[in-house]
Amino acid sequence: MFRNSNILALLLASSILVVCAFEDPVKSRILSRRKRYVAFPEGSSFSCAGCMTVGVIGQPAPTSSPGTFTFGLNWGVAYELPNSTETARYLLHTIKR
């Protein structure tokens, strides 16, 4: 019983090795394509903001009036999105002129 399963496992492993040994010539060929870029409308930007408010004196409770003093910290960042794309080859060509 165990001998038959060992032989079956050996045959399966050897067949997998044989199949993997032969590479498909289509898959090994290197394909290339020009890089593509994303351009956004003029003046587009990405922004992210965060705000944290903490009661300092007289902690606010859900049923009572708000606290006397609060501390607020705001943070924001904006990133201007690209609106035109120029390849390095084009830029180098215009600089050399």
pLDDT (tens digit per residue) in 30-86: 778 777 777 777 788 899 999 988 777 766 555 555 666 778 899 999 988 877 655
* Cα→Cα distances 18→8, 22, 25, 26, 93, Å: 15, 7, 16, 18, 52
Q: For residues 52 and 76, is the Cβ–Cβ distance under 8 A?
A: no
Q: 84: closest CA among 25, 41, 23, 53?
A: 41
**pLDDT at residue number 85:** 59
**Mean pLDDT of all residues belonging to the chain:** 73
Q: For residues 58 and 71, is the Cβ–Cβ distance under 8 A?
A: no
Model pTM greater than 0.75? no
